[in-house]
Structure 1
């Protein structure tokens, strides 16, 4: 049913020695959460961040609570090709998201978890000279030659990257014979991903003294100072570098990472010294398997349990369900689990009940939903179908999850639209009733019958980001989604909302 869900986002940027951060200032007088920041970190100025906002932007909305143990900020980032021109560009944009949406919410003595989107590093494939052909493609009609009906632009971009990264591809094919050609560009870009994605979010966690979640499609890596590796894997745009980052095997997984504010492993490579946990997505979507050739996380045995068990933080246990896994229950909502149900026997079938069995009480659902938001899919109206993850997490009586945090990527990438409404939900919530757009309706025969329980306003939505338009009849919403989509030619094309939501989690 989730055949289109994958997530292909982008994020990242690294701290290069001697490379300044345009518009940064650490001498401005602190106000609010700024007073809690270390005085010597790189901080983009307000003017710099304002210039990087998309046309449709809103400040974070949130919900405080007395007795809070953890404050969560879920980013709804709008991806744009201008943010990956070079390493500094994306580093600056990610820090602007922190400055505009997270820093104002900081409170003394209250730890903060900042959740960025699924695939938050993938777009950095278009960084620098090697990514320039993809940036040109993205800005031309050939980026979406038939609109969003087929990912021809995405396939074209991968072909261009196979040329740009050819020396690294050949080097890895020699090291790992038989590597899948569909993922070879992702493998070849390991050094780029580390400098762009891993170092950016690792540094944000350390500098801003927060916990950070972000996802990317990349291989595990090690730092190397071997002269041959330096010659093979160094970014040609960089001057002299002391080390490069080299994949340690051919597996490329959609991995969600959790970094903390303090170093935990001095011997780890750059970007992982403060890494607390990593989760490999399982199961994968059709796009991830057929187009990108990604490797799935473990589905059975001890490795699957360790992958799904998550990480303890502030008295909670965070579990990571990156898009499709959050829809894997093994039984319909409102029905009892089948006789002999063993939730952890195969997590591709019952990932969510397995996490519950392992003690997870906060589900982190980083999202990059490929496709229009206000549209119909195999299960009927997509926002109604989406309730099977974000709302069901905290409403299903067979599990005990306390919270769900879903941070959506938005914005067109070549011929793939990404859209959704970022949300934080709570079991037993008493917030003002809210709903995804179009969910006040139910269409028998179109919407899956057991989705009827998802229809209407729900108090479990502690916070819910608005969509690009107010709620309306589904036909009108679908027309708006079509106008937003790649190649529409409409004034609304790619005019998605960038914002964030936040909430306090209590025990």
Structure 2
């Protein structure tokens, strides 16, 4: 009897894109498509023309689509004011959702156009995955829960998660992952998203690796990493949007008084996961740029086995260490006081000549992965619905609007702030 042939290891080129965003990138569908295409253009020189490529984009890169059609409101300068102005301008759509689905004003604002924005977001990503021939982690966007009813997609009322979508080079759906652990900025006092369920996390076997997603804060949490590692994850994807100056102090639950340097805190996510050999590789792209009055900054990284890293290195404000296969440089180098000052100067509304002067970057690393041994998990009804949308087999059904007379209800509903500046 002939011995079975052992399966060959997989060789994958992982690419992390660190883009610079602005509010203007989201005010029209054409502007959004240009911004997303620019990121794949940044990735193109790093792609392996004869191999498998995995491109990973950043967290919440679909959130600012809530401003689509609202260029006139950007002069209000802060996200909170813009959100309030858009809620009022779209009252025939936002107020019925607020009352019918019993959600907050900020969630009603997002849900008012969520079907059109989800379609734009997903079809843009689909077209780019096809054109560039890559496995694409689309980043993440606020996404409702859909189910398919014939040629219509119907969303579950009120629900809106921070969701990552994975696509193959044909633009077909691989799977989706919801963020489980929300930051204060994503909870009721911020953009008011729905947390995902830990039990829903799955690993997706693909030629680009057995992919598991831990969006931003999830990559810091042992329950998420343990769940993905137990399912055989070989490549951890950590899309990120750090809503603060990179060299500022950080304090988050469960210990908000623990004010460490943010780069030090970040070592407890992807780098720690791979350094402890919980998961072999991790890809962590981070968006940069001031979005109105909100600051986003960081250093994108790809981490893996220490013996595969070219040399010890690390984020600013931390000591060099093994395990960084690729790391984006920060905007400057120097001693801690100068680094902290540089971060403050670039922050939103600082008024400094260096305000909003961040560094775009694209990183790549070659990963050697074991053969896939696990079957793909079955699709959920929501994934079936998105798969149909991407194939043009179904469209989102828009709920009927309540009469205009509802707009005359007391605007005291809007008394509390709609948007607060916290970390995403």
Query: TM-score under structure 1 normalisation?
Result: 0.65
Q: Distance in 2 between matches of 1:173 and 1:405?
A: 38
Counterparts in 2 of 1:94-493, with a 5 A limit? 94-99=36-41, 101-128=42-69, 131-137=70-76, 143=77, 153-173=78-98, 176-213=100-137, 214-221=139-146, 247-262=155-170, 274-289=172-187, 290-299=189-198, 304=199, 307-314=200-207, 316-329=209-222, 350-377=223-250, 378-396=258-276, 399-428=277-306, 429-439=308-318, 456-470=319-333, 472-493=334-355
Answer yes or no: is the 8 Å Cα contact 1:361–1:400 preserved in 2.
no
Q: Distance in 2 between matches of 1:373 and 1:111?
A: 32
Answer yes or no: is the 8 Å Cα contact 2:22–2:292 preserved in 1.
no
State the superposition RMSD in angstroms. Answer: 2.2
After superposition, what is the alpha-carbon deviation per residue over 1:237-288, rounded to whole angstroms, capped at 9, x for unaligned?
xxxxxx997644320000011111226xxxxxxxxxx221110001111111
Answer yes or no: is the 8 Å Cα contact 2:135–2:208 preserved in 1.
no
Report the 3-state secondary structure (helix = DSSP H, G, I; strand = E; otherwise coil) of the residue aligned with 2:17: strand
Report the 3-state secondary structure (helix = DSSP H, G, I; strand = E; otherwise coil) of the residue aligned with 2:121: helix
* Bigger shift: residues 358-367 or 78-87: 78-87
Report the 3-state secondary structure (helix = DSSP H, G, I; strand = E; otherwise coil) of the residue aligned with 2:337: helix
Partner of 2:403: none
* Bigger shift: residues 476-485 or 378-387: 378-387
* Bigger shift: residues 189-198 or 315-324: 189-198
Q: Distance in 2 between matches of 1:182 and 1:224?
A: 28
Q: Distance in 1 between matches of 2:309 and 2:259?
A: 28
Report the 3-state secondary structure (helix = DSSP H, G, I; strand = E; otherwise coil) of the residue aligned with 2:14: strand
Q: Distance in 2 between matches of 1:186 and 1:245?
A: 18
Compute the displacement of 1:315 (Å).
6.3
Q: Distance in 1 between matches of 2:202 and 2:324?
A: 25
Compute the displacement of 1:182 (Å).
3.3
Answer yes or no: is the 8 Å Cα contact 1:370–1:418 preserved in 2.
yes
Report the 3-state secondary structure (helix = DSSP H, G, I; strand = E; otherwise coil) of the residue aligned with 1:408: coil
Answer yes or no: is the 8 Å Cα contact 1:121–1:196 preserved in 2.
no
> Gaps spanning 5+ residues in structure 1: where?
1-66, 138-142, 144-152, 226-242, 264-273, 330-349, 440-455
> Gaps spanning 5+ residues in structure 2: where?
1-8, 251-257, 370-424
Go from structure 1 to structure 2 and tell me whether the alpha carbon gap of 1:357 and 1:244 turns closer, same or farther (over 3 Å shift).
Answer: closer
Answer yes or no: is the 8 Å Cα contact 1:224–1:246 preserved in 2.
yes
Q: Distance in 1 between matches of 2:88 and 2:115?
A: 17
Report the 3-state secondary structure (helix = DSSP H, G, I; strand = E; otherwise coil) of the residue aligned with 1:360: coil
After superposition, what is the alpha-carbon deviation per residue over 1:30-51, rounded to whole angstroms, capped at 9, x for unaligned?
xxxxxxxxxxxxxxxxxxxxxx
* Bigger shift: residues 289-298 or 104-113: 104-113
Report the 3-state secondary structure (helix = DSSP H, G, I; strand = E; otherwise coil) of the residue aligned with 1:90: helix
Query: TM-score under structure 2 normalisation?
Result: 0.78
Answer yes or no: is the 8 Å Cα contact 2:94–2:105 preserved in 1.
no
Go from structure 1 to structure 2 and tell me whether the alpha carbon gap of 1:315 and 1:436 turns closer, same or farther (over 3 Å shift).
Answer: closer
